[in-house]
Each structure stands twice: as structure tokens, then as C-alpha cells.
Chain A
Amino acid sequence: MRKLMKNVSHLVLPISVMVLLIIINLVKGADYFTITMINGALYGNIPNILFGASELVILSIGMTLVTAASRGQDISIGESATISSAVFVWFVLRSGEATPVTIIVGFLLSCVVGLGLGAFNGILVSIFKVQPMVASLILFTGGRSIAFMIDGKLSPILANDISNRIGTVIPGIPIQTPVILTVVFIALFAVLLKTTTLRLYVETVGINPNAARLNGINPKKVIFLTFLIMGFCSAVAGFIAVNKAGRHDSVNLLKNIMMDAILAVAIGGNSLGGGTFSITGSIIGAYTIEMLNRTLLRLEIEPAMIKVFKAIFIVILMVVASPVVRDFIKKVLDRNRTRKEE
């Protein structure tokens, strides 16, 4: 039991936040969980959250790994997603008619570009020992312009049946395709972490790179690998985002998503200073952020004030989760326990 508690203790924060948000939503209106069928697909508050958070979930998985291994954050994820999806759109539009083959080839091509961008950041961080945030600042500065040049014009439109289906629903399947893709991605990742030594290596490097090196793990390789994974994640996120939108808007696609992704990692109970990590926490954190955004909309708060409420919410959350407050609560609980025993 205690072991189970230990395994779950880092998830207490995100899950309790989620429960709190659900309670707020239920107070606002009891129809929060209602799900309706429209054109053979499920719609409602919960499916919308799953649908809306799909890119954020994928990106926060990659961000968790990068944070754990390199003790820093990649702030260029939105930009690398934009560039890789620009390549995807370029390929699909260039090849004329969109068939499943062109879509898949385009997706693979965008993955290659994503890996390349990840490698760019990874080389800077691992070999040249630049801090991750500084290294990704380069791509952050120039990324959207590169995407614009690949596009050649402002927001080319991706109007074909297949990408429409990828972005919304495939007829006959009641769940939106992005949700399915996210689930598949999470499953793939779970298998990767369970079957390989990736988790052990990343955590070792994150806790102490020198100790890892002395134990025969090459920190450079591990950090580089996490950045490659981050590049792949951003390519997938870009693919989903561009299919959702139906057009490639190089200026606004996934803008400022790195803030939300880092926030998701932090809400998930992970330290932004590297070390042990929990992908589950980050995933729940990402869904929590989407839920928070939608809750604020549902409460009909003035659009101008939404950011204020979000900020206050985050601050309260982080204060509750902060080590000082946690220690204080533990101390109070201990005192009560000893008093009872007396």
C-alpha cells in the first residue's frame, strides 16, 4: 500500500486539480458530462478537451524527456512543429492529388525534418554544452520565417478529404481522429519506456551527468536522443495541428505552446531541474491545462480577464505544491499524529 502511495504521490497534485475543475464545472451546470452524437461522432465537453489537448499532450511528453535529461527546456517546439508541418503541406500540395500514400510520405518527410531540427538543438546542447533554452532560442527567433519561406505565401490551404478526416473524424468511428492518434502515440511511448532502458538512462543523466559518465552512460548521447525524440514529437504535433486547422498559418500555428508544455510538465509534478520524471503526470497536466482554459471560457469570464484568472490559478496551484508548504503540512500532520498517540 505504501509502495503504491509512493508511486502515485506525484500524481496527487494534477489529479486533485482536475477534480477541483470538474467540481467547478458541475456547479456551473450539471450537464458537464453530457455527450451528444453529431454526424456519427461524439461531441461534448470531455471529447472536446481530449480533442483540443492532443498536440499539447504529445509535445509535453517530449518536453518531459528533454527537461529530465538536460535540466532545461526547449522553447522552439512550436517553431519546429511549424517548420515540419510546412514541409508536409509543401509535399502534399506539390504532389497534386492527395492520396493516402502522399499523406504518409509527407508525414514521414516532416518527421525527418523534425528529427533534423531536434538534432540541431541536440548538437548544440550535448556537444557544445549550451543551455537548452539558449540553444532553442535560435530556432525560436528564425523558425517561423523559415516556415514562411517553405510555404512561399501566407497560409496555404490544405483542402482534401484525407487531411480533413485526420483533422476531424473518420466516418464510422465515433471518436475524433486526433484523439485516436494521441492515444496511439501515448501507447507507443509507454511501450518504448517499458521495454527499453531509456527511462533509466535519462534519469541517471538528469540527476548527475558526471556520475552517469563514470557508470558508462554517455550523457551526450542520451541528451541528444531526448532532443531527437522532442523533434519527432513536434513533427507529429505539427501534423495533427495542420490537419485540424486545414491550412498552414506559419505565423500563428501552435504559437506560445512551449509555455503550456512547460507548465504541463511542472503541473505533472516533475522538477524543471531534471532528474526523475513522470510521463503520466505530464499527460494529466496537459489535459488539466486544456480543461482550465475551457472552464474559464465556460464560466463566461470576460476574454480580457481570462489570462488573469489563469495566472492566479497557476500561482495558487504552485504555492500549494511548493516544497515549503508541503513540508509545513507534513509537519502539522505529524504533530497531530504524535498527539493522538500520546
Chain B
Amino acid sequence: MASEKAIKQKARLSNSNLLFLIASVIFVLMYLFAIISYPGSFLQFQTFFDLFNLNAPLIIMTFGLCIVMIGGGIDISIGSVCGLVTMACAVYLEKRSGSIAGAILLSMGIGILFGILHGYLIAYLEIQPFIITLSGLFLAQGLLTTLHKNPLNVTMPAFVNLRDFNIVITWLGTRNRLGVFIPCQIKPGTIIVAVLLVIFASLMKWSRFGRNVYAVGGNSHSAMMLGINVKRTKFITYVISGLTAGIAGFVYIMTTGAGNIGNAAGAEMKAIASAIMGGTLLNGGVGNLLGAPIGTLTLLVINELIRAAGVQSNFQAIVSGLLLYLFIILQSIIMSLRDRKRFTVALPPWLHLSGKGQA
């Protein structure tokens, strides 16, 4: 009985794991291809770390988006909220001469406020998430332009120190450059990414809340029948998404050091693309938090590859669109092949049950 249970659980979760596996295999293949074609740049560890250093905000936003998407919703306001947070922090630090701790609190506060607003309207008033987060996008953009119109550089000494702060890994530098001693550098944003990854992945994997999110995303009606508080679960997913957008905003200004209207513009679409590449489905109920950074990195490696190949910038968008196309088709084919196999095989009763439960 116990073994039967274990198998059942494995079969149920495997949809998420399969997509995650595909995503990671493709990422590894992509990176190997990059190393083979451009060994000079991609073989260095610093290149790998720079992917994190420069794009930490996007990865952090993708975490929140993934959780919302697994819960069956969508949040397209994250890019604008992130932009608003950068500007708010810049104004707070530069004009009000605030402290860094205050800025962190401010950014998280703005994010959580937006999250609560979205979550309440979507979960408790049952309004379509797309419309509400779209108006959240408008709201954040409007507030951003109202707050300050011109680029604002933060010159506060304590903040500049934080901005230029790098963690140097001496042993990695020596081991890889074979004599040439240039140690690898990691920005604090990367550490935040790693910490958040551990927190969110374990939250979704092992906590009661995480399992509730999967249940609600898979089928909210049966989740309700099972006694899960669907509304509260949805509400919390949006709050988490807002919180990650706020943190991403602070990490953004920590890397660039300036508030600007164009900050993180269009990041929501990038985040959606990377969440999908990481194996999260828009329908909800399927996804793996570990896939979020993998998806983002795949997208970034594609961009880096195109840039390294020296293609005209117009082709860049087209090629990344094409690769997205290939990826989506591949995912769809693998999923349908898998379904068909399950359909034709004469099923023992326990496997049959799990297949039904998957739906």
C-alpha cells in the first residue's frame, strides 16, 4: 500500500517534472553549443555569473510569476511595479536622503501593497486576473511618471558603496584561468536570487501552502471540495508576486544605480516567456520553481548567442521569436506523445487512476 501511494504521487507530479527536465536539458544543450561555438567567452565562469549579475531582477520576478501561474492566474503588472519601485527608491534615497534599510522596506512595501490590491480584487471579488493586473500596470506606470519624470541618479555614498560591492571568489578565478589571476565577481543580487530560489522552491515543494497552490491551479473546484481555502491561496500567490516585484525593483536599482522611466519596461513579457520556457503552463497546476531560473537563463543565453554571432539587432528579435517557437512546439509534441502512450498502454488500475487525476 505504501509503495503504491509513492508511485501514485510520483505519477501525479511528473508532468511538472517532465517539463522541467526538458527545460534543463535544453538549457544545458544550449550552453554546450554556446561553449563550442564561442569558447573564448562562454567558457569563462564570469560569463555565467554575469548572466545572474545583470539579470537578477528578471529572475526574481519570474519566481513570483511562476507561483501565480501555477495557481492558475497571471500577473502582467510586475514589470511596471518593478519600475515604480526603482524610481520610488531613487527619489527616497536622493531627495529625501533616506537610509538603505528604509529603501528596502519601501520597495517591499510597495510590492506588497500592489499584491494585496490585486489579490483582493482577483481572489475575493472574482474579477479576471488579466484585467486587474493590466490596470495595475497602468496604475504603476502612471504613478511612476507622476513621481519623477527624468532619470535620477543616486549619489548617496552608502548606496554607491552597495552598488559597487562585489563578492570576489578567488579560488574560482585561479582554477579556471590557468595562471591568469582574475577572480570571478558576484553581485549581491545573485546571492538574493539564490536565497529566494531556495525559499520559494522549498515553499512550493514541501509546505502546505505550496501544495494548495498546485491543487488550486489544477482544478480550483475540486480543491474547494477538498477543503482548501481557494480564495486565500490565490490571494497569497498575488501577494508573493507583488513582493518579488518589489524585491526585484530594489535589486534593479542596486545594479543600475538610477531611477528611470524605462526601467524594467516590458519585463512582464520576458518573465512570462521565461516562465513558460521553464516548464510552467499558463493553465495552472503545472510547473516547477527550479524551472524559473532555467527558463530565464535559456532566454538570456539565446540572446547572448545572437549577440555573439554579431547578427543585426532586428534579426535578434526574429531569431529569439523563432527559438521560442521551436521550444513551444517541442514541449507540445513531447506532452502529446506522452499522453498518447498512456492512452494506448493497457493500464493497471492504480496508473489509470493517476492518469485521471492529472487531467
Contact = CB atoms under 8 A, between A and B. Distances in A.
Contacts of A305: 142, 146
Interface stretch (B23-31, B210-218, B315-323): B315-323
A27 B135 CA distance: 26
Contacts of B149: 304
A154 B321 CA distance: 21
A319 interface: yes
A32 B324 CA distance: 49
B18 interface: no
8 contacts: A134-B276, A134-B282, A145-B318, A262-B131, A307-B142, A311-B138, A315-B132, A322-B127
A137 B131 contact: no
Contact of B314 (A128, A137, A148, A321): A148
Nearest to B124: A324
A266 B129 CA distance: 11
A131 B132 contact: no
Contacts of A322: 121, 125-127
Interface string B138-149: 110111011001
Contacts of A188: none
Interface stretch (B91-99, B234-242, B329-337): B329-337
A256 to B, nearest CB: 10
Contacts of B126: 322-324
Contact of B281 (A131, A138, A145, A272): A131
Contacts of A138: 321-322, 324-325, 328
Given A140-B269, A266-B128, A322-B127, A145 B142 contact: no
Nearest to B77: A311
A306 B141 CA distance: 10
Nearest to A124: B328
A141 B273 contact: yes
B174 to A, nearest CB: 40
A139 interface: yes
Nearest to B136: A311
A319 B317 contact: no
Interface residues of B, number: 46
A129 B325 contact: no
Contact of B318 (A124, A134, A146): A146
B321 A142 contact: yes
Given A130-B332, A133-B282, A311-B136, A262 B130 contact: yes
A163 interface: no
A284 B67 CA distance: 35
A141 B138 contact: no
B182 interface: no
A128 B132 contact: no
Contact of B134 (A131, A259, A303): A259
Contacts of A321: 127
Given A263-B131, A266-B131, A272-B130, A141 B333 contact: no
Contacts of B130: 73, 262, 266, 272
Nearest to B139: A311
A135 interface: yes
A223 B240 CA distance: 35
A308 B138 contact: yes
A145 B314 contact: yes
Nearest to B336: A129
Given A148-B314, A319-B125, A139 B321 contact: yes
Interface in B271-297: 272-273, 276, 281-283
Nearest to A79: B321
Contact of A130 (B74, B139, B318, B328): B328
A225 B309 CA distance: 39
Interface string A60-76: 00000000000011000
Q: Which 9 A-B pairs have the closest CB atoms?
A: A142-B321, A307-B142, A308-B142, A311-B139, A311-B138, A304-B145, A145-B317, A141-B321, A311-B135
Contacts of A308: 138-139, 142-143, 146
Contact of A306 (B142, B276, B325): B142
A1 interface: no
Interface in A209-255: none
Contacts of A303: 145
A263 B131 CA distance: 7
Given A142-B318, A142-B322, 13 more contacts: A73-B130, A124-B325, A128-B328, A129-B335, A130-B328, A131-B283, A133-B74, A137-B276, A144-B317, A311-B137, A315-B132, A319-B125, A319-B127
B320 A142 contact: yes
Contacts of B128: 266, 271-273, 318
Contacts of A325: 125
A312 interface: yes
Contacts of B316: 145
A142 B320 CA distance: 7
Given A124-B328, A142-B322, A314 B125 contact: no
B233 to A, nearest CB: 17
A135 B328 contact: yes
A154 B314 CA distance: 12
Contacts of B314: 145, 148-149
Contact of A318 (B127, B142, B273, B321): B127
Contacts of A149: 314, 318
A335 interface: no
A72 B136 CA distance: 20
A128 B142 contact: no
A162 to B, nearest CB: 30
B79 to A, nearest CB: 13
B125 A312 contact: no
Interface string A140-176: 1111111011000000000000000000000000000
B329 A137 contact: no
A137 to B, nearest CB: 6
Nearest to A76: B321
Contacts of B146: 302, 304-305, 308
